[in-house]
Every structure is written in C-alpha cells, then in structure tokens.
C-alpha cells in the first residue's frame, strides 16, 4: 500500500505526471509527494503552470521543486535531503518529430537525466523505480499487437532510441545493483490539458482557426489512443502492488487501435457537440492527405495481457468518451 509513503514524481508539471500527482493526493491517505519539473518551453509553459496550480490547489502534502534531472548536483541534493520510498520518473523530452532536429535535448534529458536517477539510487535505495518508456520502441516492427516479448531493435527515431536505452540501462542497474524497476511503454496518451504537439490538440487548434490539417500516410495509420486516466490507473495499480519481478516491462495501451480518419471524424463530432465548431462545419474540406513523416510508424497496437494478468487492469475508455472530455476542457480553458 502507498499510505504514508514519500514519492518522487519527476515531470510533475507534465501531462501524465500532473494527473498522477492529483490522483495519488486525492486517493491515498497520508501520502507525501515531491514533484520535480524543469518547466522547459518545449510547449507553452502556461499550460504546465495550469497543471501545477491544479495540484497545489488540492492543498495536500505536495512540494514542488523546479529543477532538471540532467543536473547531477541537483539530483544528489534532492536525494540527500529527502528519503523516498518510490520514484516515478516521468521527466523526459517528448516528441518523435522534434527529436529529428533537436537531438541534443533528447540525449541530455532522456539519457543523462535517467542515468543520474539510476546512479543516485545506488546510494539512496528505494522500494521501486517506475519510469516512462514508450510504444515508439517497437519502431519498424510489423507484428501486431506489440508485445513486451517482441524484439525492439529497429527504432525509427532518436526519441525511440533513447527510450529503448532507458530500458537497457534499467536492466543493467537491476542486474548489477539490485535496483527494482518497472518500465511503462505508453501508447499515444491523450486527454484534457494534454500536450499541444499531439495530433488531437494541434488538429483542434487548426480546425478552430479554419485551417487545414495534414493527415499523414494518406490516412492509412492506426493509433492505440489511450486516455490519460487509464494511464494513471495503470501506474497506480503497479505502485500499490509493487513490482512482480526485479526488472519489469509493461504496455499501457487501449488494446484497440483506431484508424486515423475515424479519429479525425470523432474529434470533429466532439468539437461540434461542445459548440467549438459549427454543426455544418465540413471536416473533409479541412483535411489534406500527405505522405508519412520521418520517424512515424503506420500502426501502434498494445498487447496488454501481462498488465491484465499481473495487476488486473486493462484500459477501456473509448475514443469518443476521451475526446469529449478533452473538448469540454478545451472550451473552458480557452474560453471558447
């Protein structure tokens, strides 16, 4: 159980991190959370500040510290001044496409930052390290659904390569130093207050500005869209029960890939139902089919059997439900 435990959540002002903090603070008696985030400007910082304010407004035992996990001195001081029971490392430079033109950022945050976490845990042991991996590690794999038993030797973006590297590093530190860890391969996370660079968010911005959206691979893509509450539920279940083995990997995905064109039409429906688009708005007139982008893959599809068997959970929020919640939030946040 998590009662009375002290948890470190890195990336606490991020999309998943902030939702995890709110869930734990609301549901777990006596929990203490230290949240860390560097508040970088990869996307609008005011959105990160909004998420952070939501946590602080709960008036629970949450302390926010602005800092970068790539700063070794910062990490050392953090662990010297606090005793953590569990570490959830969600801090990372996200985005497949951004990694093509900004590789240094990914090496610093995703590789050096994670290395700093692992190194400090050698001297300041915890019960369990959970960390964010990604469905992108499956890269060019053609067998679906993607299983954690599959080989993942063909990443098609540097972002994917850094996440695969995290898994290898965690395995090595588990083998050499006994650091118990669980890597979580997230599949296309979406929901209210999400990342503006994600398709559902950027499409909404463009459609509301009467602009044309680009549909990659001529619409012949499928994504295993996973609602953020389902991602958080999976993390919490694993935190509560603890690691099954010393080294673990799980997919957290909806196990139900959606065709990209169906996704766009569903988004349009939700925007219309919430008064963000006129009922007669023609989605087809605002779409342009284009070729696949570098770093992208045609299909993501999570095999979640091991998550279901070990922790009794499988994401189930429908795309319509999730996008409706996003549309409601968007209308309120931007006062549309």
C-alpha–C-alpha distance, residues 189 and 183, integer Å: 16
C-alpha–C-alpha distance, residues 17 and 23, integer Å: 10
Whether the CB-CB separation of 163 and 202 falls below 8 Å is answered with: no
Mean pLDDT by 10 residues, the chain (336 residues): 97 98 98 98 96 98 98 98 98 89 95 98 98 95 94 93 98 98 98 96 97 89 96 98 98 95 97 97 94 82 97 96 98 91
The yes or no reply on domain 6-189+228-255+301-316 and CATH 3.40.50.720 is yes
Cβ neighbours of residue 101 closer than 8 Å, sequence gap 6 or more: none
Token readout for 206 is 């463009």
The catalytic residues are: 159
pLDDT reported for residue 311: 98
pLDDT reported for residue 152: 96
pLDDT reported for residue 255: 93
Token readout for 310 is 């070990």
Neighbours of 205 (CB within 10 A): 13
Please report where in the chains the tokens 């968010």 appear, as a residue. 201
pTM of the model: 0.97
Mapping DSSP to helix (H, G, I), strand (E, B) and coil, where does residue 46 land?
helix
pLDDT reported for residue 158: 94
pLDDT reported for residue 296: 77
Neighbours of 224 (CB within 10 A): 25
Domain residue ranges of the chain, discontinuous segments joined by +: 6-189+228-255+301-316
3-class DSSP string for 51-69: HHHHHHCCCCCEEEEECCC
């Amino acid at each position: 159980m998590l009662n009375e435990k002290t948890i470190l959540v890195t990336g606490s002002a991020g999309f998943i991190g902030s939702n995890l903090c709110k869930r734990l603070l609301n549901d777990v008696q006596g929990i203490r959370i230290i949240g860390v985030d560097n508040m970088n400007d990869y996307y609008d910082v005011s959105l990160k500040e909004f998420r952070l304010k939501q946590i602080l407004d709960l008036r629970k035992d949450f302390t926010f510290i602005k800092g970068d996990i790539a700063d070794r001195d910062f990490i050392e001081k953090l662990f010297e001044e606090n005793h953590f029971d569990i570490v959830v490392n969600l801090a990372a430079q996200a985005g497949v496409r951004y990694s093509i033109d900004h590789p240094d950022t990914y090496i610093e945050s995703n590789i050096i930052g994670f290395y700093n976490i692992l190194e400090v845990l050698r001297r300041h042991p915890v019960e369990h390290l959970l960390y964010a991996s990604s469905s992108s590690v499956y890269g060019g794999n053609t067998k679906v659904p993607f299983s954690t038993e599959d080989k993942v030797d063909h990443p098609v973006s540097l972002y994917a390569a850094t996440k695969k590297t995290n898994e290898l590093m965690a395995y090595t530190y588990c083998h050499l130093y006994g650091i118990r860890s669980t890597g979580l391969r997230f599949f296309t996370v979406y929901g209210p207050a999400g990342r503006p660079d994600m398709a559902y968010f950027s499409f909404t911005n463009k459609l509301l500005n009467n602009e044309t959206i680009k549909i990659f691979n001529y619409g012949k893509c499928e994504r295993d869209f996973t609602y953020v509450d389902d991602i958080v539920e999976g993390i919490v279940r694993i935190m509560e029960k603890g690691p099954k083995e010393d080294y673990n990997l799980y997919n957290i995905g909806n196990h139900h890939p959606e065709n990209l064109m169906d996704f766009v039409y569903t988004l349009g429906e939700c925007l219309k139902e919430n008064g963000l688009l006129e009922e007669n708005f023609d989605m087809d007139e605002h779409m342009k089919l284009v070729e696949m982008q570098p770093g992208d893959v045609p299909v993501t599809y999570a095999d979640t059997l091991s998550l279901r068997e070990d922790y009794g959970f499988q994401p189930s929020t429908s795309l319509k439900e999730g996008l409706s919640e996003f549309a409601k939030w968007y209308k309120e946040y931007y006062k549309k």
